[in-house]
Amino acid sequence: MQELAKGRNKNGKIRFVPPQLAHVKRTGPDYRNGVEITGQHYLDTFGFRGGEFGNWMNQNDRQTSLNMGFEALKDLASALKISDKDIAYQGTLAIAFGARGSGNAAAHYEPLRTVINLTKMHGAGSLAHEWWHGLDDYLGTKMRAKGMLSEQPHLYAPFQKLIDTMKYKPETPEQAAKRTEAQTERTRKNAASWLDSSVLASLKRYGNEEQMETYAVLREAFLSGEPGSVEQISAFKKNVTGRVIPKSERERLEIFERMLSGMQAQEAPQIGRTETDFYRNSVRMGKECEKDGGYWDSNVEMTARAFACYIKDKLPYTSDYLAGHADCALTLVSGKDGEMEVLKAFPVGKNAVQSTLFLTRSFRI
């Protein structure tokens, strides 16, 4: 708890920095056969536009990064069932190791230069996440979006379905019943307020106790959605006070009458949709951490985190350099009961991405 407190700034925000992997484990096929990978292997195998190393990387760092990056990209192609050449989006993507650092970012994608940068060993675990950003940008160009496709998903129906599935899920019957009950109660409350403001004051002035009891009965019939109840109440008001309910107010009350009648006639609540835990947690992550203002719950970042989880789940073996950070977007927060709980800003359980036909199968990259 003390370490958590130290990580907060003056505004109480948590500074989220992905942890550097203590060990980079991989248990997949041996793609290298003992060969030390060179930059040329990246160009020949994946068709990258180019590559770059930071000046401060020593030879051992360079060789380690090349070997692990090569194996991770082969794992990625295997998980997606695409060709090695598709990894670089047909020669439009470049890759850099520790050459284009960006503050505390473990890795980042640069749309203007279409390059993925992995910041030395701190970038291990984020390759799948950044590769998705590149694909998102590539698809945006293909669909003539002004930016990444996730920012304008309506341009491609399967992508819009992906976003909707990631953020929303069908209500349970219990949730639908609870929502419908709350909506009905709100409607009844508003209808009662409008009705009382239209007739109650004058009835109290001119009516007697028996007539007030009659109004209570008519009022309940109205709130139950009984057809013709507004007309009956207007006639009753005229009989007691000499004036009907004004036309504008009567029309509004008749709208409420139809709404209430429809609610009463509905046999079962209509199943709507509710936010997924992934979406709700992403919104809260933005409120708890420094990068708020729509970063954590943006389509761009949510799809990238979901993609990394998809790849980690899809591979039958461990590939830490590729997706080791897939499930690290979490922090401790205070729950409603005051107890500390873990907030996870990534898909858990039935992954939204897994339930949708994956996009790379819909495109010829």
Could you read off the pLDDT of 82-138 as tens digits, one per residue?
A: 999 999 998 999 998 876 555 455 678 999 889 998 866 556 788 999 999 999 999
Asked whether the predicted pLDDT for residue 357 surpasses 50, the reply is no
Range in 169-178, 184-193, 214-223, 236-245 the model is least confident about: 169-178
Buried b (16+ CB within 10 A) or exposed e, 104-136: ebbbbbbeeebbbbbbbbbbbbbbbbbbbbbbb
Residue-level pLDDT at 241: 92
Residue-level pLDDT at 349: 78
Residue-level pLDDT at 237: 93
Tell me yes or no: is domain 2-170+274-361 CATH 3.40.50: no
pLDDT class of 19 with cuts at 50, 70, 90: low
| Mean pLDDT value across residues 249-260 | 94
Its pTM stands at: 0.75
Cα–Cα distance for residue pair 216/242, rounded to 1 Å: 19
| Mean pLDDT value across residues 294-301 | 93
Q: What is the number of other CB atoms lying within 10 angstroms of the CB of residue 161?
A: 14
The H-assigned helical ranges of the chain are: 2-6, 39-46, 59-80, 127-142, 157-167, 173-206, 209-223, 229-241, 247-265, 277-288, 299-314, 320-323
Asked whether the predicted pLDDT for residue 354 surpasses 60, the reply is no
| Mean pLDDT value across residues 139-145 | 93
| Mean pLDDT value across residues 155-178 | 91
pLDDT class of 18 with cuts at 50, 70, 90: low
Asked whether the predicted pLDDT for residue 6 surpasses 60, the reply is no
Cα–Cα distance for residue pair 304/334, rounded to 1 Å: 27
Torsion-angle region of 93 (φ positive above 0: left; ψ -120 to 50: alpha; else: beta): beta
Q: Where are the domains positioned within the chain?
A: 2-170+274-361, 173-265
Residue-level pLDDT at 351: 46
CA–chain centroid gap for 109, Å, is 20
